[in-house]
Structure 1
Amino acid sequence: MSVTLHGLATALPAHELPQDLVRRNAERILGPRYPQFERLAASFAQSGIARRWSVAPFEWFDEPHGWADRNAVYLEGGEKMFRDAATGALDRAGWRADEVDTIVTVSTTGIATPSFEARAAAAMGFRGDVTRVPIFGLGCAGGTAGLGIAADLARARPGSKVLLVVVEACTPSFRADRLQKADIIATVLFGDGAAAACLSCDAEGGSGPVAIGPAHQHMWPDTLRIMGWEVDDEGLGVVFDRAIPGFATEHFAEAVDGALAAAGLRRADIDRFVCHPGGAKVVTAIESALSLAEGTLDAERAVLRDCGNMSAPTALFVLERVLASGATGRMLACALGPGFTAAFVVLDVAA
């Protein structure tokens, strides 16, 4: 049963972080404590990122913070982004909040219990009997995997309206105490953002229209240490292995081919790959792995430039730009995340 995308919207928090200013602040805070900082500082210029956005202002990062402080900022900023993204998607779909039957909320950068859809329910106007599906732990793969899960839920209940909201606030996890290379790279790459999508099996009133096809996930064995979180008394510490671009170059194509084969497709059937831009090197690695001409993933680089890596919602920011460009045809949304996992969703965009 075909699922239609009725509305897609993105949201950013209030505080802009220009990359050159982030570098200067990181040098001031981390430089005296981290002997390798100068060698790694070139990553700021090589990242392809011009700016990012944060739920916290620059001065917040000057002071040490523990779990309570970090999570409080995540909750406040995350709920605001949830409302902004969800309202945008509902407006574009022409839906009222009280018409939504199922809400899928994806977030991995903090702990929200009750989860964001419950916290925002009164302000949004959701019904009391709405089905809530909060998802934690998918990291950067969460936007693409969440889109597939939301579509499956729409298929399971024909006639129902499903709202997907993907919210990540990465910046409150900035760490000045661990002095690990991964923390420097996280400071180079990550920002905050949210995206939302309205889905149903009703073909009327879609965005394009865009049909959401089969979803697929692939998890590699013995790869738990490639990406994820370490948890200690101060908060969440990023696990971000330097091998990710090389791993993508070597293994991503096989996972893509497996996802397409499960949908009865081949790479030649795909007009546009819509990829999560984990970083500049990851984008280049994906182009290489899929034998795409250099520069093919232009929307991915544009999102990375303007917003950084926002973890899960980033892939939906890319999809929004691809659709806004007028691109049509069969597409494959792709993302890599903790597990180590690849998530895929087939999309058909009508002219």
Structure 2
Amino acid sequence: MNNAAALVSLATAVPPHQFHQHEVMEAAREILAPRFPQFDTLATLFSNTGIRHRYGVMPFEWYMERRGWPERTQAYLDGAEALFVDAARKALAEADLAASDIDTIVTVSSTGIATPTLEARVATQMGFRADVSRVPVFGLGCAGGVSGLSIASRLAQARPGTNVLFVTFELCTLAVRHDELTKANIVALSLFGDGAAAAILRAGDGGATQVEAMGEKLWPDTLDIMGWRVDPEGFGVIFQRTIPDFVTENMGPAVTEILERMRLSPANVDRFVCHPGGSKVITALERALSLDQGTLDHERDIIADYGNMSAPTVLFVLERARARGLPQRSVLTALGPGFTASCISLRHAA
């Protein structure tokens, strides 16, 4: 029997409020420019991201007021519960399963704090069994889509025949800060949106798309590249180094190293499916992976339509690639706090 975990279904969801990039830029100018003389110089970041619009869990006016932890947390709980249910129900419907068929739930999120965690909060609404295994994971950031899928795959493989539901959701817009007069805050304002993705994995009975192998690389002394700083007002984004430059210099060797541990090489990969951090990161990825410029077309489309939603974003790209038809071997890649590269090789039978 083939015990490789198979991707049974994949679905995505976004909240109801759509924000156009030029509207976000003008709102940021109104709030920050009077107190931040460098704003006009940094405002070009909004037009350089490749983003047309993105989505948020709260109405636009909510973000125009300064918010603290209680308001942010309530917005996170309400918004994340709705996104979890939306994405999970879509994945269940595609798999022709009921929530009571799920044996394990892996939940990945880094943009809010919830105890009890989200899968417990929606358990009654969803109809999960009382004996379902729960695996909540915090802190993976933008790598969470790939790393979380890897965790779910391992759990499915450990218990063939069981159904593992993986849900990742990020509400990045809730970290909007009025008090942070920094380039890092402007970068965050120009990039981040909210979204969710869900997948169901099962091992033991084959499947058209199977998780072939997975691997990660953690670079030493890179804690300052990306992450959260926690203070009385909320999360504050950390961007201390230029990520596109880091990607150009380090991602190619890292992916080659990870693939070698999978007994593969870049030449064996028919399609890279990458987390698109922004337009400059996409260009850097093409350069680092020795791809022709424009190869990462789905990545550019997703960043344009949704912005950077952190962990779920790469699964939006995978969903689009699946709809167009996956080649024999695809490799998912994402970078996140740590600083970490995470990869999964998917083997697809036409």
Smaller-chain TM-score bracket? over 0.9
Aligned length: 348
Matches within 5 A, 1:235-246: 235-246=234-245
SS at match of 1:31: helix
CA distance in structure 2 between the partners assigned to 1:273 and 1:228 by the alignment? 25
CA distance in structure 2 between the partners assigned to 1:219 and 1:134 by the alignment? 21
Instruction: Kindly state the Cα deviation for residue 40 of structure 1 after the two structures are TM-superposed.
Output: 0.7
Instruction: Kindly state the Cα deviation for residue 241 of structure 1 after the two structures are TM-superposed.
Output: 3.2
CA distance in structure 2 between the partners assigned to 1:161 and 1:296 by the alignment? 34
CA distance in structure 1 between the partners assigned to 2:326 and 2:215 by the alignment? 23
Aligned-partner residue type, residue 100 of structure 1: I
* Between 39-48 and 132-141, the greater mean CA deviation after superposition: 39-48
CA distance in structure 2 between the partners assigned to 1:230 and 1:258 by the alignment? 31
Aligned-partner residue type, residue 229 of structure 1: W
CA distance in structure 1 between the partners assigned to 2:7 and 2:132 by the alignment? 20
CA distance in structure 2 between the partners assigned to 1:248 and 1:347 by the alignment? 22
Aligned-partner residue type, residue 115 of structure 2: T
Aligned-partner residue type, residue 194 of structure 1: A
Aligned-partner residue type, residue 187 of structure 1: L
Instruction: Kindly state the Cα deviation for residue 202 of structure 1 after the two structures are TM-superposed.
Output: 4.0
SS at match of 2:43: helix
Instruction: Kindly state the Cα deviation for residue 30 of structure 1 after the two structures are TM-superposed.
Output: 1.1
Counterpart among 56, 62, 66 of residue 68 in structure 2: 66
Aligned residues of 2:173 and 2:194 also touching (Cα < 8 A): yes
Counterpart among 133, 136, 141 of residue 135 in structure 2: 133
Matches within 5 A, 1:111-260: 111-203=113-205, 206=207, 209-260=208-259
CA distance in structure 1 between the partners assigned to 2:41 and 2:349 by the alignment? 48
SS at match of 1:108: coil
Instruction: Kindly state the Cα deviation for residue 350 of structure 1 after the two structures are TM-superposed.
Output: 1.9
With the length of structure 2 as denominator, give the TM-score of the two structures.
0.98
Q: Which residue of 2 aligns with 1:76?
A: 78
Instruction: Kindly state the Cα deviation for residue 242 of structure 1 after the two structures are TM-superposed.
Output: 4.2
Aligned-partner residue type, residue 223 of structure 1: T
Calculate the aligned-residue CA RMSD, in Å: 0.9
Aligned-partner residue type, residue 175 of structure 1: R
Kindly indicate whether residue 56 of structure 2 is the aligned counterpart of residue 54 of structure 1. yes
Aligned-partner residue type, residue 252 of structure 1: M
SS at match of 1:154: helix
Instruction: Kindly state the Cα deviation for residue 71 of structure 1 after the two structures are TM-superposed.
Output: 1.1
CA distance in structure 2 between the partners assigned to 1:202 and 1:196 by the alignment? 21
* Between 26-35 and 305-314, the greater mean CA deviation after superposition: 26-35
Deviations 1:151-193 (A, max 9, x none): 0000111111100000100001100102111100000000000
Unaligned runs of 5+ in 1: none
Aligned-partner residue type, residue 301 of structure 1: R
SS at match of 2:86: helix
With the length of structure 1 as denominator, give the TM-score of the two structures.
0.98
CA distance in structure 1 between the partners assigned to 2:154 and 2:197 by the alignment? 19
Unaligned runs of 5+ in 2: none
Structure 1 residue runs of 4 or more that deviate by more than 4 Å after TM superposition = none
Aligned-partner residue type, residue 166 of structure 2: L
* Between 57-66 and 305-314, the greater mean CA deviation after superposition: 57-66
SS at match of 1:95: coil
CA distance in structure 1 between the partners assigned to 2:252 and 2:154 by the alignment? 25
* Between 236-245 and 45-54, the greater mean CA deviation after superposition: 236-245
Instruction: Kindly state the Cα deviation for residue 61 of structure 1 after the two structures are TM-superposed.
Output: 1.1
Deviations 1:270-303 (A, max 9, x none): 0000000011111100100111000000000000
Instruction: Kindly state the Cα deviation for residue 64 of structure 1 after the two structures are TM-superposed.
Output: 1.0
Matches within 5 A, 1:28-43: 28-43=30-45
CA distance in structure 2 between the partners assigned to 1:242 and 1:25 by the alignment? 26
CA distance in structure 2 between the partners assigned to 1:82 and 1:291 by the alignment? 36
CA distance in structure 1 between the partners assigned to 2:154 and 2:214 by the alignment? 8
Percent identical pairs in the alignment equals 55
SS at match of 2:148: helix
CA distance in structure 1 between the partners assigned to 2:36 and 2:84 by the alignment? 36
Aligned-partner residue type, residue 144 of structure 2: G
SS at match of 1:32: helix
CA distance in structure 1 between the partners assigned to 2:58 and 2:35 by the alignment? 23
CA distance in structure 1 between the partners assigned to 2:246 and 2:64 by the alignment? 35
